[in-house]
A and B are shown apart, each in its own frame.
Chain A
Amino acid sequence: MRQLAIQLDDQRTAFEPGENIQATIEWSLPYEPQSLEFRVVWSTAGKGTPDVGIEHTTTIDSPRQQDSRRIELKLPAAPYSFSGTLISLVWALELVVLPTNESFRTEITIAPGAREVLLQRVAAK
């Protein structure tokens, strides 16, 4: 059986900038991976070419085929999750298996009030 999962405590997916979070990562693979990486990443989406950045990586070397780990970390203070019509910035937590690059991803919000900043359209004069 093949399974990768990230379980955030309290099932929350929206957080304040710089908030401490706790999660459980789980994996069950038909082979012993070289390593696993838990990443906090941002990416852009919209009309332009996507950009991506990795803000945090926790590496688990020589993991067993099946296991789980607790993760505790402080989320980045910036940039905030935001969306306009042309571009969005999206934060996500990723669990990546190396060297196969199989992965599991769950999107989160990092912004004041734990709410994505919405860029409003300005009416033309």
Chain B
Amino acid sequence: MRTMVPARKNPFATGRILQLRYQFRESAGDGWPQLLGELKLLSYRAAIIGPHGSGKTTLLEDLGVRLQRDGFRIHPVFLNEQNRDYPADFVRRIRDHLTSQDIVLLDGCEQLSFHNWWRFRWQVRRAGGLVITSHRSGRLPTLRDCETSACLLADLIDQLLGAASSIEQCQVEQLFLRHRGNVRNALRELYDLAALGEVFPTRNPTHHS
């Protein structure tokens, strides 16, 4: 009988997943210099798009850190299905103080109606930049379209386990397909399997290139 794994030792605990940073496709020449250069060309007004669990929020958070390092003041606001109200308090707090050194980061732009999106965009117009995440393109020029893959999922699993995992390549692919590319939900399923002691690191790589 496998030993149950306590939550604090589960490699797929949410706290560990939140520490994962956005994975660029470095083989395609992508990385922070490219992204920041493109954002500048877009006058710091752009969108990160992608489906649920594709890393949009992670990329937006990582972007905020880099923009701060570059001297910008960052103003993040988060919307989701449980918190869809127009961020009136947030806007009221910042709108009179925005300058070209301020960048507003809006996570979950798809939660705003057409009217409220234009209202928000007008009220933060004095900011030096506005970067949003959204499920679909159209509201601002696309900076990045977050795509997921079974290979990405496998890489994230290896990072969380700190070694090659006991999960075969085909199992990773099935997991990826079962969750329709939603990496977050795939990792949540692995949490349950790990809790039962059914996922563990191995010494020798068993899968994927």
Contacts and interface: CB of A to CB of B under 8 A. Distances in A.
B4 A46 contact: no
A110 to B, nearest CB: 14
B14 A87 contact: no
Contacts of B35: none
B80 to A, nearest CB: 12
- Size bracket of the A interface: 10 to 19
Interface stretch (A3-11, A27-35, A47-55, A70-78): A47-55
Contacts of A45: 7-8, 10, 13-15
B5 interface: yes
Interface residues of B, number: 15
A84 B6 contact: yes
A83 B14 contact: no
A47 B6 contact: no
| Interface secondary structure of B, over-half rule | helix
Interface string A105-120: 0000000000000100
A86 B192 CA distance: 8
Nearest to A119: B6
A34 to B, nearest CB: 20
A125 interface: no
Contacts, number: 45
Contacts of A87: 7
B7 A88 contact: yes
Contacts of B14: 45-50
Interface in A81-113: 83-88, 90
A36 B6 CA distance: 33
Contacts of A50: 14-15, 18
B6 to A, nearest CB: 4
B6 A83 contact: yes
Interface in B1-48: 4-8, 10, 13-15, 18
A32 to B, nearest CB: 24
Contacts of B18: 50
Interface of B: 4-8, 10, 13-15, 18, 188, 191-192, 195-196
Q: List the 3 shortest-distance A-B pairs measured between CB atoms, nearest first.
A: A46-B7, A83-B6, A88-B8
Given A49-B14, A84-B6, A85-B6, 12 more contacts: A45-B10, A45-B13, A45-B15, A47-B13, A83-B6, A84-B7, A85-B4, A85-B5, A86-B7, A87-B7, A118-B6, A121-B4
